[in-house]
Structure 1
Amino acid sequence: MLSLPWYMTLGGIFGSVIALTFAGLPVFVVFLLINVAGIVFVLGPSAFGMFANSLVATLTSEAFIAVPLFLLMGEMLSRSRAIDELYEAFDSILGQMRIRLYALCTLVATAMGTVSGSAMADAAMLGRSIYPGMVARGYDKKMSTGLILAGSTIAPIIPPSVLTVVLATLANASIAEMLIAGILPGLLLAALYIAYAYIRVLIDPSKAPPLDTTIHRTIGDRIRGLMRMFPFVFVMFAVIGLMLAGIASPTESAAMGVLATVLVSLWLRTFSWRMIWVSMMGAAKISGSVFVIIMSANLFGQLLSFTGATEQMVTIVEGWDVAPWLVFLMLMAITLLAGMFLGATEWMLISVPVFTPIIASVGFDPIWFWTLYLINVVTGGMTPPFGMTMFVFKAAVPGSNIIDIYNSTWPFVAVIFFGILIMAVFPEIVLILPQLMR
């Protein structure tokens, strides 16, 4: 058993996480090893009871049930024709406009986010499906790339998002309120992306092809397009609508989402027992990783508390005697910098146990702060040099250049932080829906 100053222990933990992550180990393995090593060297072998307690606490947590259900819903929905129907619906509704495919890409990315909940999955799907058509029709390559990567970051923000459930669990925040709080911020970011594309094309018309006068959408086409959105809207109402109305908890909403997805697949004639089996296997694999992450996070917080790191960090912040907004800027700047080198889950597991007592001492609303923190964290996936969403996009688009991808992201990173600034100045954007739930 070692007795080291808290800052050396904290520094050793952070350094070990970074080293093991860059060694290529999965995030759940990294934190499992860190926690076992922490028990052995910091607390001693007799403290392995904490490991067992974290295991039992995670297994018996009702909130965790929502995770595999949301994952199963996403797996099943992606294998039905609901997303294809939604794409064709948006295509029917949009009329003649210079930024037509930019707008279509953003709308589809936002809708797909409610299915996958993963920025990397969205980037891969959009890179394979929409990007080639955008380039072929004369849309700017860099702007199309940046828009797809930015649109992909909406996925973990809007419900149902597994990353939001994990964050709420780590921060001891209301899962239902955290999920609902992401709706308006996600829609705001989507609107800002479309507005940015519109302004850029106004300034530089070469960013988009000339107006396609061959596209004609009648009132009947738009009505049929709206009707084709019904399967997807039905599933989203079963999840978000019931939760927002206060009728169902996140776990119950997730179960209703699975049921609604089964009904939609029957309606679209894509249901099969093989689809159910493959979806269940995919959800089970990811759920196992998430389970280990949450278990490790519970133990990690206990280790930090035992070493005195949590208490000392709060004491340091309280001793600064600075305005709360400076603390907010500092935490956001640290998160942005860390996101350039670490994945969202890695940084969440490191920072949430440290940030939680700090935001409590400063007096921030936890739902507001953690929602903005989540947006910041997922933005790290599209920031050089190690943003994983960018590498996924490169793998999905053969022949793409990583330097061009790097250059395409910065304007949209600026747009995202402009959105964070708006939500910092007007917190009602984040808090109004959770307040209505209450």
Structure 2
Amino acid sequence: MSTESVTSSPQAGRSSLAGKTFIGKLGTWLMIISTLAVGFVIFVEMMNILFYSPWEDENFLFRLSGSLSGVAIGPLTYLMFGSLLVALMMGLPLAFVTGGLGVIFIYLVGDSMMLNLVPSRIFPMMTNSDLAAIPLFIFMASMLERAGLIEEMFTVVYKWMGGLSGGLATATILASTILAAMVGVIGAAVVTMGIIALPAMLKRGYDHQIAIGSIMAGGTLGILIPPSILAILYAVVAQQSVGELYLGSLLPGLMLSGMYIVYVLVRTWINPKLGPPVAVEDRISFKAKLLLLKDLIAPLILVALVLGLLFGGIATPVEAAGIGSFGAILVAMKHGAFSIRSLREASVTTAKASAMVLWIMFGASVFVGFYILQGGQDFITETILGIGLSPYAVLFLLMFLLVVLGMFLDWVGILLLAVPIFIPIVEALTFDGLFGLPAVPGEDVVLWFGVLYLVNMQMSFLSPPFGYALFYIRGVCPPEISMMTIFKSSLAFLAMQCIGLALCVLFPAIITWLPNLVYG
């Protein structure tokens, strides 16, 4: 019996892998065939327009152009977003799905002149200087990662905190907080800390839920703590100052980090078996702890320099990111980890990640731009405001929709599809404060909503059953840890994120105080 079960397990794994491979290949071929079909239709239409009179209907091979021009915005909304959902469920890439559907609906609803919408939406993004900070910050993170600084940082924090009950989990959250100020990319933080910290905690008998939950919750802090890539994209879409958004998200990020640490320390203080401290013989003296700090001096100075220049208004985000990229190379040299190979690998990683983000931006911009041009923005605004809910109830509805979208789309797709539609709704509302608490000044509403959006995205990464962080950590967990255990480990930290979000709603000064103090 046991032999059969052991031998059948690899077969089941291979069959499952084969099934996934088949589905992936099927989705790829469907995308290729549909692309060729659409390209053929567009080619034939262009030939007819160029060589025949466009006014003679009988000369047209296809009569699809403008065939949906009489469709009202309500049915068009269901048609556009329904087709988007179907395409995504087929496993097609978001970047090509949004852009392709945008062009198709322009062709079906409008005319040839409406195709001018495509370059008119893409070109302003191409000339937006703030977007240049994205590849530079990604390169900075890639170089610091290849320099081995993440392992060193965890070692230092672990040696300092290991003597406490829950010290390793606390060290993981602290290291993730520092890492968030270096990386700004979520997947890399969760996977890297999972590879480094999870074996150390499991070896010392940590509760699986606390060990895994601390890694996932700490890893998602990169959404909030500067230099967050998502914050840059939000600032571009919402026409918000990147520096103000960074300052606004700093206190909520540190607040959540502190909540995670307090939770771990209290749980392990009540029941030390959940997170036993490091054995006495493995601890080091205070002098040795101080000597360990020298390994963190260079990267911490680099992070402080980059954020200080940015917050102080001395440098733009692009200039600060450029200084950070150059500084990351110097830090890698100092640690003896710089080489032509590491530079090439960091550059390739940067190019792939930046291309993914920018292609999604271009495609989603065309899709949403066409929808707004057709009156979609007014339709959504009137529908939501016409329900008769209070401003805070509308805000809760938008937050709920963002969390639901986070279960199916990645963070870039949600930003570019939802935020351009949600911001005018929020701007049309007046938030006078709940329970007699302070109101949100009108000029701070977009900034306030932006940070709430970032907290929502952090929640979506941890939300079962489709949160991205759940599957990032699954890839580095040992086989004996089930997916259900991973789901359960996220719930306590997800509840703390809900509390943090509620505090930011009730006390908007948590978000607005620091930007107003620095920028007036």
Shorter-chain TM-score bucket reads over 0.9
Q: Is the 8 A contact 1:157 1:375 kept in 2?
A: yes
User: Over the residues paired in the alignment, what is the CA RMSD in angstroms?
Assistant: 2.0
Equivalent residue in structure 2 for 1:42, among 86, 101, 109:
109
Q: Kindly, what percent of the aligned residue pairs are identical? A: 28
Could you say which residue in structure 2 is the equivalent of 1:192?
A: 259
The CA deviation at 1:179 is 2.4
After TM superposition, list the pairs within 5 Å mapping 1:141-152 onto structure 2. 141-152=208-219
Could you say which residue in structure 2 is the equivalent of 1:8?
A: 75
Equivalent residue in structure 1 for 2:94, among 27, 46, 49:
27
After TM superposition, list the pairs within 5 Å mapping 1:28-177 onto structure 2. 28-94=95-161, 96-177=163-244
Q: Is the 8 A contact 2:102 2:367 kept in 1?
A: yes
Equivalent residue in structure 2 for 1:380, among 455, 460, 464:
460
Give the SS at the match of 2:336.
coil
Kindly provide the CA deviation profile for residues 367-387 of structure 1, in whole angstroms up to 9, marking residues without a partner as x. 111111111123212212222
Equivalent residue in structure 2 for 1:416, among 485, 494, 497:
497
Give the SS at the match of 1:362.
coil
Could you say which residue in structure 2 is the equivalent of 1:370?
A: 450
The CA deviation at 1:217 is 4.3
Number of matched pairs: 438
265-274 or 201-210: bigger deviation: 201-210
What is the distance in 2 between the residues matched to 1:82 and 1:89?
10
Q: Is the 8 A contact 1:95 1:215 kept in 2?
A: no
Change (3 A) 1:46 1:374: same
Could you say which residue in structure 1 is the equivalent of 2:14?
A: none
Equivalent residue in structure 2 for 1:354, among 421, 427, 435:
421
What is the distance in 2 between the residues matched to 1:180 and 1:284?
28
Could you say which residue in structure 1 is the equivalent of 2:488?
A: 407
What is the distance in 2 between the residues matched to 1:162 and 1:232?
19
Kindly provide the CA deviation profile for residues 59-97 of structure 1, in whole angstroms up to 9, marking residues without a partner as x. 211111111111111111111132233223213432621
Equivalent residue in structure 1 for 2:367, among 267, 284, 300:
300
242-251 or 213-222: bigger deviation: 213-222
What is the distance in 1 between the residues matched to 2:116 and 2:91?
29
Higher RCO structure, 1 or 2 (CA under 8 Å, sep 6+):
1
Give the SS at the match of 2:222.
coil
1:182 and 2:263 equivalent?
no
Could you say which residue in structure 2 is the equivalent of 1:389?
A: 469
What is the distance in 2 between the residues matched to 1:55 and 1:327?
31
What is the distance in 1 between the residues matched to 2:418 and 2:394?
14
Q: Is the 8 A contact 2:97 2:363 kept in 1?
A: no
What is the distance in 2 between the residues matched to 1:370 and 1:392?
25
The CA deviation at 1:319 is 3.6
Kindly provide the CA deviation profile for residues 102-135 of structure 1, in whole angstroms up to 9, marking residues without a partner as x. 1011012222223332222222112222111101
- Normalization by structure 1: what TM-score? 0.94
The CA deviation at 1:388 is 2.1
**Aligned letter for 1:106?**
I
**Aligned letter for 2:249?**
G
**Aligned letter for 1:269?**
G
Q: Is the 8 A contact 1:343 1:380 kept in 2?
A: no
392-401 or 243-252: bigger deviation: 392-401
366-375 or 342-351: bigger deviation: 342-351
Change (3 A) 1:196 1:39: same
What is the distance in 2 between the residues matched to 1:361 and 1:187?
30
What is the distance in 2 between the residues matched to 1:297 and 1:415?
32
The CA deviation at 1:182 is 2.1
Could you say which residue in structure 2 is the equivalent of 1:234?
A: 301
The CA deviation at 1:321 is 4.7
220-229 or 122-131: bigger deviation: 220-229
Gaps of 5+ in 1: none
